């Protein structure tokens, strides 16, 4: 009887110098894994270098264990993960970066933890060595903001380095929302999760392909897909500003007509009206954003619940 399969999903973009090394590293680790057959899936996210050529070579060398998918162009890592999850046939899926920053040596521990009953095993980077002070600061500020507004908080510095069970992968595959941020969605599924600490290594070759623009796009998806607080904030600001405006206008008018007509000039009342007017406009926007929020949630079409067991 053939062994059950365990998928190793590797999204790659311009990683030609790392393909062979990462495949070799996974196979080296696999010498110590007896119970599962590896299924390595490289998703070439529209690389412009020789990445696909390297993947083809790796597949010809071990056609039984390696597969490749090539995108027509660069659609982004999240899209590559989504594609890989749909292709994966394993009983569990391990996701690792193609630059060897995520040590494959952790895979046996992933498997052991999964076997012990955890549906999600996440590796948390203790000490991101590849990051400069600026990147560290912006990343920690971003995670703070995200966790403040998001309905699904995630650990700062969390990466995509993880194992998910077939059950979790199926749930993720069944989600119809278009802008997926897998780190958050995996957490959102709510399955029992274990966290293994590790220290990320330096890149094997090449440089990070995450430009500021790409990071910004990711940040936008992370916030928008998991939070409606920015929209609610418009509504709240509208209510608050309208209330302040009404109080100011009424207070000033009452003071003018009942206490001291000369003291309150026309311009100060005009100023109060402007505040009230801005408040009313914001309120109108806020009411619309409440409806937009409802529409967004409907279009996003996330299930309202997931069932883990029935008896």
CB closer to ligand UDP, 13 vs 143: 13
Contact 19, 66 (CB under 8 A): no
Q: How far is the CB of 101 from ligand UDP (least distance, A)?
A: 5
Out of 57, 76, 204, 269, name the contact with ligand UDP by CB under 6 A.
Answer: 76
What part of residues 82-141 is at the interface with Mg ion (CB under 5 A)? 97, 99, 101
Tally the residues of the chain.
311
What part of residues 36-55 is at the interface with ligand UDP (CB under 6 A)? 45
Per CB under 6 A, the segment of 12-20, 161-169, 250-258, 284-292 that binds ligand UDP is 12-20
Per CB under 6 A, the segment of 9-17, 32-40, 174-182, 294-302 that binds ligand UDP is 9-17
CB closer to ligand UDP, 83 vs 149: 83
Only one residue has tokens 């994966």, namely 88
Q: Which long-range contacts (CB under 8 A, 24 or more apart) does 112-119 make?
A: 113/163, 113/194, 113/196, 114/163, 114/165, 116/194, 117/192, 118/191, 118/192, 118/193, 118/194, 119/164, 119/165, 119/167, 119/168, 119/191, 119/192, 119/193
Q: How far is the CB of 94 from ligand UDP (least distance, A)?
A: 13
CB closer to Mg ion, 113 vs 125: 125
Q: Which two tokens stand for residue 119?
A: 């549906």
Handedness of CA 7, 196, 78, 76 (dihedral sign): negative
- Picking from 190, 224, 195, the residue whose alpha carbon sits closest to that of residue 304 is 190
DSSP state of 256: I
Out of 7, 16, 101, 152, name the contact with ligand UDP by CB under 6 A.
Answer: 101
Q: Which residues make up the interface to ligand UDP (CB under 6 A)?
A: 11-13, 15, 45, 74, 76-77, 80, 97-99, 101, 208-210
């Amino acid at each position: 009887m053939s062994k059950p399969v365990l998928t190793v999903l590797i999204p790659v973009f311009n990683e030609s110098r790392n393909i062979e090394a990462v495949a070799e590293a996974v196979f080296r680790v696999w010498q110590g894994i007896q119970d599962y057959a590896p299924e390595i899936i490289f998703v070439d996210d529209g690389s412009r270098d020789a990445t696909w050529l390297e993947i083809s070579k790796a597949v010809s060398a071990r056609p039984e264990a390696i597969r490749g998918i090539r995108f027509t162009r660069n659609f982004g890592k999240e899209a590559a993960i989504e594609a890989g999850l749909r292709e994966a046939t394993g009983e569990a899926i391990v996701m690792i970066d193609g630059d060897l920053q995520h040590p494959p040596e952790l895979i046996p521990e992933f498997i052991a933890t999964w076997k012990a009953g955890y549906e999600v095993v996440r590796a948390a980077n203790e000490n991101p060595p590849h990051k400069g002070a600026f990147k560290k600061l912006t990343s920690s500020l971003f995670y703070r903001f995200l966790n403040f507004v998001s309905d699904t908080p995630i650990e700062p510095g969390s990466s995509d380095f993880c194992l998910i069970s077939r059950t979790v992968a199926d749930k993720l595959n069944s989600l119809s929302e278009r802008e997926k941020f897998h780190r958050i969605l995996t957490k959102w599924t709510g399955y029992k999760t274990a966290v293994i600490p590790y220290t990320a290594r330096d890149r094997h070759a090449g440089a990070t392909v995450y430009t500021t623009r790409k990071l910004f796009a990711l940040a936008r998806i992370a916030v928008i897909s998991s939070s409606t607080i920015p929209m609610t904030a418009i509504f709240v600001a509208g209510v608050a500003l309208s209330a302040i405006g009404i109080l100011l206008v009424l207070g000033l008018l009452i003071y003018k007509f009942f206490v001291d007509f000369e003291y309150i000039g026309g311009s100060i009342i005009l100023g109060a009206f402007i505040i009230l007017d801005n408040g009313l406009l914001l309120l109108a926007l806020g009411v619309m954003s409440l409806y937009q929020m409802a529409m967004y949630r409907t279009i996003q079409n996330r299930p309202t619940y997931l069932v883990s067991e029935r008896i």
